[in-house]
Chains A and B, each alone.
Chain A
Amino acid sequence: MTSVLYDAPGPRAKRRNVLLSVLFFVLLLLGAWWAWSAMSDKGQLEWAKWRPWLADSEAWTTYLLPGLANTLKAAGLAMVIALPLGALFGISRLSDHVSVRVPSAVVVEFFRAIPVLILMVFANQFYADYTDISVDARPMYAVVTGLVLYNASVLAEIVRAGIQSLPKGQTEAAKAIGLRKGQTMTSILLPQSVTAMLPALVSQLVVIVKDTALGGALLSFTELLNARKTAASFYASVIPSFIVVAVVYIVLNLLLTTLASWLERRMRRSKKSTGAVVGPGALDELETIGPKTVKGPDHGYGDNSAGAG
């Protein structure tokens, strides 16, 4: 491996690397052994605690799957509602008119600065005070509302980055054939930017899926984390339930990130596109390096830092 940090290893460096490998591996084994013995001390390794999750379908059909369905429902709804809103605000931020540009910038920056939990708590109380949504349905409404408010503003930034990532020639050509501003946006820029943004949109779904868990912990929304709580007390199985639920989240989100990076690679290869791709790190790029930079393939797809928990 040649990198900016190391030369290709010679014989001594190779020996040292093998030694370090072994040392680190032993360290990891020690850590794993400690965790294992701590768990067996507390009786968390007993088959009775694992059986409901691994060998019995009841825990899944009664608790986890309905919880997962609610998680996915809330995340999907939030994405579908937030997307048009985000597109609207993203386009408004690029408007030529100060009277449109500035207010939408204020709205977007405001909702991006506020924790999504604050928005959820607000929405929950708002629905309790001013609407007649039933108590059972309220947490779902509150979670989706909070997610929509926050993610619409994040998506607005992604849309803005998507439109700005298109080559200038696209706008110039549209002008040259006599399209008006609105036509340029709706028939030239938006369709192209939507495909360019697809990887960033999919990876934003990861943030949304993770944030639904807030509703489970604080608003008694019966999503996956909350379903775990009920199931764990029913089966008296704490650590296994956490491990199982964490694995579900990890698999789900890894699928989404894999999809996002696959889309990104596919789009970069595609001969039809203008070559503009907004990767999952779109927001970092927008604020730090400047709007015109397109994310290089070298960065890895990791970020989601703009999103909350």
Chain B
Amino acid sequence: MSRADVCVVACAEAFRGDGEILAAGIGGPITTLGARLARMTFEPDLLTTDGVCHLTGDDPQVTEGWLPFRDHLWLVLTGRRHVFMGASQIDRFGNTNISCIGAWERPKAQLLGVRGAPGNTVCCPTSYWIPRHSRRVFVERVDLVSGVGGPLLRRVVTDLAVLDLRTPDGSMRLASVHPGVTVEEVVAATGFELVIPPDVPTTRGPTEEELRVLEALDPGNLREAM
């Protein structure tokens, strides 16, 4: 069991209970494998895509539907999509930024633009995958709110831990640390004050069945590049 396996399972767990909605992953194999792993094990009704405009079957080579960009945007408005997005910055209430660093009027670094983040986060459940948990990403204040925090934010999975907003004031909580990671490490890598429960559990690893499914889904071990 590797750190990447733990991260894939933590992403898959985000989709538990989602039913017949699109499980979408952005940012590489960890999130897309998480979606497929959930579908192939405990959440069989999930829809998945090839990352372009095909809805894929249990066998990813099979096409079971058509989802061009316009339908993707419409799907978002119906709430039938749960996406793992990336974030260049995220704050304690789960507001995220993928648009630019510095003042918007004249940014130090122009990034992607807000893309679909504003709509995704007010219409659909949203989770985040942050491959490098650091104070550069976990900041007191994001420079621009692309994605809106709040009750639709399900979980934030990083290379160190799982976080969520299940606190009375909706601020970010350490939900679990990955095997071999200490609470202190996570706190040190976070630029705002995290809510730390008295007993922080360890993120679960894959079951034997899940490992078997993962091997079949990713025989080349692309997930290890994270």
Whether A and B are associated in the same complex: the answer reads no
- A residues contacting B by CB (< 8 A) are none
